[in-house]
């Protein structure tokens, strides 16, 4: 079915302004440094409209690092619920994918998907900034399909 003009304008705006929210649910900070590196002028992702936002209500992409623990699980879910649809969730780093080196600890649930649905898993300890940018670019199709 052909999309209306308004729907096409909304899609164009979304595709050209993917705003990301960063949440550390219990990481050692290694992956967080790589996330911030990906957002620095070195990679210049703002030329694609990708920029960091502080509010979940304005964000399209959630970059979550670290394992989910007892304290962060409810916060992560609340942030996810506040984000508007269509939203993308990326588990950044081995800990975010499965619990990683923290797996089995007394206060750890598991990876990000133990609290919210995840669209992409990027392994690595820590991940590379290029892998984060690649995942966001590949998931643009999810926004297109919505």
Binding footprint of ligand SF4 on the chain (CB under 6 A): 27-28, 30-31, 65-66, 93-95, 100-101, 125-126
Nearer Cβ to ligand SF4 (30/49): 30
> Which residue's CB comes closest to ligand SF4?
30
21/26 with CB nearer ligand SF4: 26
Reduced to 3 states (helix: H, G, I; strand: E, B; else coil), residue 98 is helix
The smaller minimum CB distance to ligand SF4, of residues 14 and 100, is found at: 100
CB of 86 vs ligand SF4, minimal distance in Å: 27
Smaller CB distance to ligand SF4: residue 14 or 120?
120
Q: 129-138 vs 30-38: helix axis angle to the nearest 10?
A: 60
Residue 107 DSSP code: T
Q: How far is the CB of 102 from ligand SF4 (least distance, A)?
A: 7
Q: What is the CA radius of gyration of the chain?
A: 15
**In the chain, where do the E strands start and end?**
19-24, 51-52, 61-65, 68-69, 88-92, 108-110, 120-122
């Amino acid at each position: 079915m052909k999309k209306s003009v308004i729907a096409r304008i909304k899609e164009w705006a979304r595709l050209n302004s993917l705003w990301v929210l960063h949440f550390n649910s219990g990481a050692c900070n290694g992956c967080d440094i790589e996330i911030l590196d990906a957002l620095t002028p070195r990679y210049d992702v703002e030329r694609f409209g990708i920029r960091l936002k502080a509010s979940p209500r304005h964000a399209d992409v959630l970059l979550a690092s670290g394992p989910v623990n007892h304290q962060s699980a409810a916060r992560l879910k609340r942030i996810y619920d506040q984000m508007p649809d269509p939203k993308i969730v990326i588990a950044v780093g081995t800990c975010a994918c499965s619990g990683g080196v923290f797996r089995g600890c007394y206060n750890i649930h598991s990876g990000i998907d133990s609290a919210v649905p995840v669209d992409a898993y990027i392994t690595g300890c820590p991940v590379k900034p290029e892998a984060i940018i690649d995942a966001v670019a590949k998931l643009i199709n999810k926004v297109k399909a919505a």
